[in-house]
Amino acid sequence: MREDNTGERFLPGKCGGEIAIEHYQRYRFAMQMVKGKKVLDAACGEGYGSQLLAREADSVTGLDLNEKVVEQARQKYGNDRLLFRVGSIEALPFEDQCFDVVVSCETIEHVEEEIQNRFLKEIRRVLKRDGILIMSTPNKAVYTDLVKGQNRFHVKEFYVTEYREFLHRYFDKIELFCQYPDLGYFISREGEKIPVYDKKGKSPEKSRYVIAVCRDSGQIRQINTEGLTVFEDHMYYELNRAVHEKEQEIRNLKTEAEAFQRQLEQGICEQKEYIEKLERDLFAAKEAYEGLSMMLKHPLRYLMKRMKRVK
Q: How confident is the model over 213-258, as pLDDT tens digits?
A: 999 876 666 788 877 877 765 555 455 556 667 777 888 888 888 8
Q: So what's the pLDDT on residue 1?
A: 37
Separation between Cα atoms, residue 272 and residue 239, nearest integer Å: 49
Q: What is the pLDDT of residue 132?
A: 96
pTM for the complete prediction? 0.71
CA–CA–CA angle 24, 27, 32 (5° rounding)? 130
pLDDT of residue 192: 84
Closest CA to 3 of 119, 124, 81, 83: 119
H helices present in the chain, as ranges: 17-31, 48-53, 67-77, 113-126, 140, 160-167, 233-297, 299-310
Tens of pLDDT, residues 211-220: 999 998 766 6
Smallest CA-to-CA distance from 137 within 169, 159, 115, 114 is with 159
Query: What pLDDT is stored for residue 67 in this prediction?
Result: 95
Cα–Cα dist 146/35, whole Å: 37
Q: What is the pLDDT of residue 294?
A: 64
Q: How many angstroms separate the CA atoms of 79 and 160, rounded?
A: 38
Give the pLDDT mean for 16-42.
Answer: 89
Distance CA 6, CA 23 (A): 16
**Cβ neighbours for 57, distance < 8 A, ≥ 6 positions apart:** 34, 35, 36, 37, 38, 39, 81, 101
